[in-house]
Amino acid sequence: MRNLAAVTDPAESVLLRLSAIVELTEGDRDLLRNAGASTQRKIAVRRELISEGEPVSRPLMILAGWGARIRVLSDGRRQILSFVLPGDLIGVGRQRGALASSTVLALKDMVVAEAPCEQLLPDDSSLPAAYVASSSIDEFYLQSHITRLGRLTAYERCADFLLEIGERMSLAGLTEKNSFRMPLTQECLADALGLTSVHINRTLQALRKDGVISACGGRVTLHDPSALAHLVDHRRAPNIRRRAA
Amino acid sequence: MRNLAAVTDPAESVLLRLSAIVELTEGDRDLLRNAGASTQRKIAVRRELISEGEPVSRPLMILAGWGARIRVLSDGRRQILSFVLPGDLIGVGRQRGALASSTVLALKDMVVAEAPCEQLLPDDSSLPAAYVASSSIDEFYLQSHITRLGRLTAYERCADFLLEIGERMSLAGLTEKNSFRMPLTQECLADALGLTSVHINRTLQALRKDGVISACGGRVTLHDPSALAHLVDHRRAPNIRRRAA
DNA sequence: CGCCCCCTTGAAGTGTGTCAAATCGGGTGG
DNA sequence: CCACCCGATTTGACACACTTCAAGGGGGCG
């Protein structure tokens, strides 16, 4: 049972996600587990994990909770650039001391830990490769988000977005069948998808009416992900080693 | 005269851009100039520099020409994710052999060369730092693009976009005062900014009528960049060492 | 000269935004 | 256990930014 494991080991999501990217050595796993156990700290809702314009701290791994990378315009308009999920790494492959290009906000209480430092790894470690691959996956999702905002309708944006989150939650071992927790308000969805919360509401209703998703109590179920993926021409991240299953 | 220098040394734009990011050693400059002279090749318009889903080749530096990173949907809709300009690096900090997440297309005839290989650099080289910083700047621009598409009006999108391109051209030493060449069709602009070419046309007219830009013969002039930047809440890339001037 | 691509313009349609009010649901205090 | 409150969701009516469709014009190039 993956979910039970996630409870026992705080770094479980990170381990799952990274081993879907590269083959981790046993040493790597220990390093991650140790870092997860010894350097973890909590970030309360609404707190900023990283603040735009300030020097970034050490690279972090996300053990639990949801965050969002955001930009806020001077008149209050807000854009969510990406969501930060358990298993994700942030700030790896950045030069130390560089200024953050955007703010990362905790949407739910989060637990984070410091990612093992790249300079102090054994020679046979595959973590450097994992870090590089992890950031190319992040870049892929940024590109997908651009395409969503630029060329998809509201209906397609929602569907495509839910597919992506489902994929990412699955990588972190946080799905059961095609269902996962998604503790986002419709206003958050709106800020991510470039719409208003009113329109998000109507669009989600349309998706439910069409029977492609159901949602209740912060839990989303995709009824037929592959059919939906085909419908909205959804692309999955390349460079992920598909599980045998 | 910077422009004359750009003619004499093919790697001039790369040198200018990278030295705005980090302090380059004399050895670094030689490496870049040599690579620029010895490994350069041309890419004809409409040719793909990188093809989505295929393994990426060696990291490249752009010596001349314009390219675009694109995604195409199955029904023909197209989104331009970013533009590739002289001085840019592409594919640095990616694991060799990984699959490309998007296609890079030459919009004009391009000249590219292989970027000096990270493994073969002298210890005092600052190129690794430059590569890392260069890709965080790329990421910054992706984030800006998301914000443009998600939360700005057509008018703001165009203005913000032109400011960004002006900034980048200036880094590569390709501006004169506030004017630069921009060989993009309005359809390209539309595909980048998530609009139709018809609407781009009308929006550019509005910008001209308001006296904020003028454009003729593929040359754009921004009449008062800082006022415009303030108007549309434009943000410049962090981590760029401003020239003393 | 004539073709082709790109830009330009007009008129009409629609997806999404705006504004405002009602309802729901979960927490809190009496 | 009920009364209240607050944020989130839902609904309706209307407005408008942007799209669509279609036709015309301009400039480079064979």
pLDDT digits (tens, 9 = 90+) for A165-179: 999 999 999 999 999
How many Å lie between the alpha carbon of B233 and the closest alpha carbon of chain A? 7
Per-residue pLDDT reduced to its tens digit, A32-80: 999 999 999 999 999 999 999 999 989 999 999 999 999 999 999 999 9
Nucleic strand C within 7 A of Cβ A154: yes
User: Which residues lie below 8 Å from residue A224, measured CB to CB, with a gap of 6+?
Assistant: A212
**Residue written as token pair 């046309």:** B201
pLDDT at position B217 is 78
* Averaged pLDDT for residues B184-200: 98
User: Which residues lie below 8 Å from residue B225, measured CB to CB, with a gap of 6+?
Assistant: B163, B166, B178
pLDDT at position A97 is 83
Give me the residue from B73, B93, B235 closest to A132, CB to CB: B93
* Averaged pLDDT for residues B62-80: 97
Describe the strand order of the beta sheet including A110-114 as a list of residue ranges.
Answer: A41-43, A110-114, A60-64, A89-90
pLDDT at position B93 is 85
Per-residue pLDDT band for A192 (boundaries 50, 70, 90) equals: very high
- The DSSP code sequence of B196-230 is -HHHHHHHHHHHHHTTSEEEETTEEEES-HHHHHH
CA–CA distance, B139 with B144 (Å, rounded to integer) = 9
Nucleic strand D within 7 A of Cβ B227: no
- Asked if B146 and A147 come within 8 Å (Cβ–Cβ), the reply is no
Reply yes or no on whether the pLDDT at A8 is more than 80. no
* Averaged pLDDT for residues B12-30: 96
* Averaged pLDDT for residues A226-232: 96
Domains of chain A: 2-231 (2.60.120.10)
Give me the residue from A146, A191, A238 closest to B81, CB to CB: A146
Question: Which amino acid would we find at residue A14?
Answer: V
Q: Which two tokens stand for residue A146?
A: 């651009």
DSSP 8-state class, residue B55: B
Q: Which of residues 177-216 of B touch strand C (CB under 7 A)?
A: 185-187, 197-198, 201-202, 204-205
CA–CA distance, B17 with A159 (Å, rounded to integer) = 40
| Contact yes or no for A146/A81 (Cβ under 8 A) | no
**Residue written as token pair 């990173």:** B69
- Asked if B93 and A135 come within 8 Å (Cβ–Cβ), the reply is yes
Per-residue pLDDT reduced to its tens digit, B193-207: 999 999 999 999 999
Spatial CA neighbour of B231 closest among B155, B171, B147: B155
Question: Which amino acid would we find at residue A112?
Answer: V
CA–CA distance, A83 with A127 (Å, rounded to integer) = 23
**Residue written as token pair 């059919």:** A227
